[in-house]
Homo-oligomer: A and B are copies of this chain.
Amino acid sequence: MSSTVTKALSLLEFFSEDEPELGLSDLARRSGMDKAAVHRMLGSMAESGLVEQQADSRLYRLGAGVLRLARVRETAFPVSAMMQPILLRLSTETGETAHASLISGRALANIATCESKKGSRVSLVAGEVLPYHSTASGLAALAYADDKLLDRVLSAPREARTRFTLTERDDILTRIEVVRANGFSESDQAHEEDVHGLAAPLFDRSGRACGAVSVSTPSHRMTAEQRQLSIAAVLRAAEDITAGLGGQRPRGYADQVAGLLASGPRD
């Protein structure tokens, strides 16, 4: 819970596409930890190459070590590479931005994206950490993941990203039930203003959710027709990615989804 390792690694969350370099005091302020402690932690992580310090500006950034680790994992389990063409197809079919995320500890890690070609599109921050409660992807994963994950999420503080974000425990639980009844999750402007999300769960070998694939559409552009089309496309993408992961959908889920698609406007 409050181990030094966890605290040190939590510092990595603050590095993003928008702020790839951060100073010591800045990191200490955001993490709420002491400057000296943060300094030692960054020093330790720099020894391992997870972060590196710019010699002149003294700013810290993610190090070459993360590239190496990603290469090792991607060589052994090529998930990003496998997802990319499926996301491309999903984005082309729907005309919108698609992305896939995997359960990564306490949060959902955005692993691969394919942006829409349209001028007006949902653009998302590469490698963003997605909360479970405020995103369609998060709810899709949560609904089919291990129950312990749901407990952990419900017992942790939840940030209200917009006025539509579900933060109450009971609201989230009923929403989870809706997701289970549908086989996919839907979320309008709960994470970002004017963004509508449709997501379907990804499964691992054990039949538990290990992530989610999602389509993000500008809210004003989400018509009933577009919605049906997107649901079908997302479910198919999820099926293909799950297969690519060597995963297995739980009993009943495949039939539920198949019935959903048959009854829809797409034949």
A interface residues, Cβ below 8 angstroms from B:
3-6, 8-10, 12, 15-17, 20-21, 40-41, 44-50, 52, 55-56, 61-77, 79-80, 102-107, 109-111, 126-127, 129, 146, 204-206, 208, 211
Task: Say which residue of B8, B56, B68 sits within 8 Å of A110 (CB atoms).
Answer: B68
Complex CA gap A182/B15 in Å reads 39
Known contacts A4-B4, A127-B69, A206-B55; A107/B49 CB under 8 A: yes
Task: Given the known inter-chain contacts A9-B48, A44-B9, A49-B104, please indicate yes or no for A72 contacting B62, CB distance below 8 A.
Answer: yes
Oligomer copy total: 2
Majority SS at the chain A contact face:
mixed
- What are 9 A-B pairs with beta-carbon distances under 8 A? A5-B8, A9-B48, A20-B75, A49-B105, A49-B107, A50-B69, A66-B66, A72-B127, A75-B127
Q: CA of A70 to CA of B111 in the docked complex: distance in angstroms?
A: 10
Kindly state the separation between the CA atoms of A129 and B49 in the bound complex, as whole angstroms.
11
A111 to B104, CA, bound (A): 23
Residues of the B chain whose Cβ atoms lie less than 8 Å from the Cβ of A41: 5
Contact A65 B109 (CB under 8 A): yes
Alpha-carbon separation in the docked complex, A41 to B66 (Å): 18
| Nearest neighbor of A63 in chain B, beta-carbon distance | B104
Contact A111/B64 with A72-B126, A72-B127 known, Cβ cut-off 8 Å: yes
Cβ-defined contact, A44 with B5, below 8 A: yes
| CB–CB A72/B102 < 8 A | no
Closest to A42 in B: B5
Centre residue among A6, A69, A211 by max chain B CB count within 10 A: A69
> Closest CB-CB distance, A212 to chain B, in whole Å?
12
For residue A69, which residues in chain B have a CB less than 8 angstroms away from its CB?
12, 15, 50, 62, 66, 69-70, 127
Tell whether, in the assembled complex, residue B47 and residue A61 are in contact, meaning their CB atoms are under 8 Å apart.
no
- How far apart sit A237 and B129, CA to CA, in the bound complex (Å)? 36
- The answer to whether A63 and B20 have CB atoms under 8 Å apart is no
- Nearest B residue to A109, CB-CB: B68
In the complex, the answer to whether B127 meets A48 with C-beta atoms within 8 Å is no
If A16-B72, A56-B205 touch, whether A61 touches B77 (CB-CB below 8 Å) is yes
